[in-house]
Chains A and B, each alone.
Chain A
Amino acid sequence: AQKVTQAQTEISVVEKEDVTLDCVYETRDTTYYLFWYKQPPSGELVFLIRRNSFDEQNEISGRYSWNFQKSTSSFNFTITASQVVDSAVYFCALSEAVNTDKLIFGTGTRLQVFP
């Protein structure tokens, strides 16, 4: 069965610190997709990134970077030089090729960035 685990419930950092959010997944499919979404206090989930299971290249987008390691079934997210606006709940999610319309979310990590 598919499962996404985000062991960190809450993380607090001071502005300009780097922070890494962990995500570990389980799936029997060889083809699957991993995602990160951000949920600010306003409520809507904002898409950050998608990775498919055949693409293990790490990605960097501005202050954000993602490390995908199939060997450890992990898809970690790092924010460099965090800012107050990064404060939100971050969800890691998984969908499998057999049913790509079903997105399985992890329990989320609440990030608080203090000035």
Chain B
Amino acid sequence: DTEVTQTPKHLVMGMTNKKSLKCEQHMGHRAMYWYKQKAKKPPELMFVYSYEKLSINESVPSRFSPECPNSSLLNLHLHALQPEDSALYLCASANGRYSDTGELFFGEGSRLTVL
């Protein structure tokens, strides 16, 4: 079982809806990540939070809005999405820098379909 929990596992929404994806980890990790993965493609980094502060935004459209309420939680708020935003959204966490630990822990993802 993964130690990074994502909810919901599946989400279908219309282009005018507002929804949120949630990610939770209780490993005390200092960094949390959102990745987007289209079918048969590699994951692409969207956002990184380090010590609850946004440290990386990979030029993601503003219809995706991340939020880190505390060190264990990471949300991704969705508004006015397009059908091409349909994808698997993966959350991950890490403790320390890759040079220290080398491991990123991933959740099972939230599969989003935009109609």
Contacts and interface: CB of A to CB of B under 8 A. Distances in A.
Interface of A: 33, 35, 37, 42-47, 50, 52, 91, 95, 97, 99-103, 105-108
B99 to A, nearest CB: 6
B42 A44 contact: no
Contacts of A101: 31, 33, 48, 50, 55-56, 94, 97-98
Contacts of A105: 42-44
B7 to A, nearest CB: 13
Contact of A43 (B40, B44, B88): B88
B99 A45 contact: no
24 contacts: A33-B102, A35-B102, A37-B106, A43-B90, A43-B108, A44-B2, A44-B90, A44-B108, A45-B43, A45-B90, A45-B104, A45-B106, A47-B103, A47-B104, A50-B103, A52-B99, A91-B42, A99-B56, A100-B99, A102-B45, A102-B48, A105-B42, A105-B43, A108-B40
A71 B33 CA distance: 32
A42 B48 CA distance: 23
A42 B108 contact: yes
Contacts of A52: 99
Interface of B: 2, 4, 31, 33, 40-45, 48, 50, 55-56, 88, 90, 92, 94, 97-99, 102-109, 111
Given A43-B88, A43-B109, A45-B90, A103 B45 contact: yes
Contacts of B42: 91, 105-108
A10 to B, nearest CB: 10
A107 B103 CA distance: 19
A50 B41 contact: no
Q: Which 7 A-B pairs have the closest CB atoms?
A: A50-B102, A105-B42, A45-B106, A100-B98, A43-B109, A44-B108, A47-B103
